[in-house]
A = this chain, B = another copy of it.
Amino acid sequence: MTSSATRATEPAGLEEYLDRARRRVDETLAGYLPEVDAAPSALCPARLALAMRHSLLGGGKRLRPLLCLMAAEACGGTAESALPAACALEMVHTYSLIHDDLPAMDDDDLRRGRPTCHKAFDEATAILAGDGLLTLAFEVVACDVQPASAALRCVQILAEAAGPRGMVAGQMADLQAEGRAEASGGPADGTVAELEAIHRRKTGALLRAPLRMGAVIAGASEPGVQALDRYGRAVGLAFQIVDDLLDIEGDEAKMGKRVGKDSELGKWTYPRFLGIDGSRELARQLAEEAVAALEPLGSRGDRLRGLALALLERDR
């Protein structure tokens, strides 16, 4: 029988490592949320706390937190030190899902296999739950990331990635490309370069930020930060291409959301521009690019290498 102390020092398989890290993220996320307290004196109304809990703790791949923890470890820091930043990233991601799912935006009923926030509650509550998660993310980074200089840098990175030159801009550009934002002036059809420009902001920015934040928290040298940033850019785009492929080929039950919606809505996707095989090939090239970027990290980059390749094979 192996003692748990011995087991903890063995190099765990990637899947086992990811499962353990996901559980640690989930526990920590739960602790950051306002309690569900029905007393009239509760600072956070129970309905708001329930809505935030419904969306934040309702499953999910936790990819952004995992990237942040793994980046910190790849730079010689501990996963534990990156947990607050990792949780903040998941809060920002979840807020963006809640708002994007609203009837005025993508109008989705299903997310992570459960009713979307405005379906489980109502639109007003969903808007506020999103606003609350976004704001709480900055509170968590500012209060809990150590040292203070890393906390401030992480607020900057997170705000830039999520803001009106990052994720919010990407969502706006995406709506315009679909022609669903009225009088948008968006082109009726575009190029793969325009599609990439959307995704670099809409999903890419918040997939790149975890790498930079993890590196900053671990006190990485500039070459280390740069290596992880190149990895993040490539992995972020590869992730999006696989997402587009899964919307065509994926299993709704595994995905926990509707599939086939992109083409219904006339969305710009990689398969639309490059075909299925061309898209797969591009995702593979990007994953290789991500792996190559990790070269300066040596064996410390092994888990991130494994993750980049595993993302190509994902089915949800």
Write the nearest CB–CB distance from A150 to chain B, whole angstroms: 10
On whether the beta carbons of B172 and A143 are closer than 8 Å, the reply is no
Where chain A touches its partner, the secondary structure class is helix
Q: Give the number of copies in the complex.
A: 2
Cα–Cα, bound, A164→B149 (Å): 26
On whether the beta carbons of B156 and A143 are closer than 8 Å, the reply is yes
Please, which residues of chain B bring their CB within 8 A of the CB of A148?
Answer: 148-149, 152
On whether the beta carbons of B173 and A45 are closer than 8 Å, the reply is yes
Of the candidates B47, B124, B175, B182, the one whose C-beta lies within 8 Å of that of A104 is: B124
| Residue of A47, A176, A182 with most partner-chain B CB within 10 A | A47
Cα–Cα, bound, A181→B125 (Å): 7
Of the candidates B40, B124, B171, the one whose C-beta lies within 8 Å of that of A180 is: B124
The answer to whether the Cβ of A99 comes within 8 Å of any Cβ in the partner chain is yes
The answer to whether the Cβ of A309 comes within 8 Å of any Cβ in the partner chain is no
Please, which residues of chain B bring their CB within 8 A of the CB of A181?
Answer: 47, 122, 124-125
On whether the beta carbons of A185 and B135 are closer than 8 Å, the reply is no
Range for the number of chain A residues in contact with chain B: 35 or more
On whether the beta carbons of B47 and A185 are closer than 8 Å, the reply is yes
Write the nearest CB–CB distance from A107 to chain B, whole angstroms: 10
Please, which residues of chain B bring their CB within 8 A of the CB of A49?
Answer: 164
Between A and B, 20 residue pairs with Cβ closer than 8 Å are: A34-B164, A34-B169, A40-B194, A40-B197, A48-B164, A48-B168, A48-B172, A49-B164, A102-B124, A124-B175, A125-B181, A130-B131, A132-B163, A132-B164, A132-B168, A132-B169, A135-B159, A138-B138, A138-B158, A141-B155
List 20 extra interface pairs beyond A47-B181, A139-B159, CB under 8 A.
A38-B185, A40-B197, A43-B165, A44-B164, A47-B185, A52-B164, A105-B124, A105-B127, A128-B171, A130-B131, A132-B163, A132-B164, A134-B134, A135-B164, A136-B164, A138-B155, A139-B156, A139-B160, A148-B149, A148-B152
Interface residues of A (CB under 8 A from B): 34, 38, 40-41, 43-49, 52, 95, 99, 102, 104-105, 121-125, 127-128, 130-136, 138-139, 141-143, 148-149, 151-152, 155-156, 158-160, 162-165, 168-169, 171-173, 175-176, 180-182, 184-185, 187, 194, 197, 201
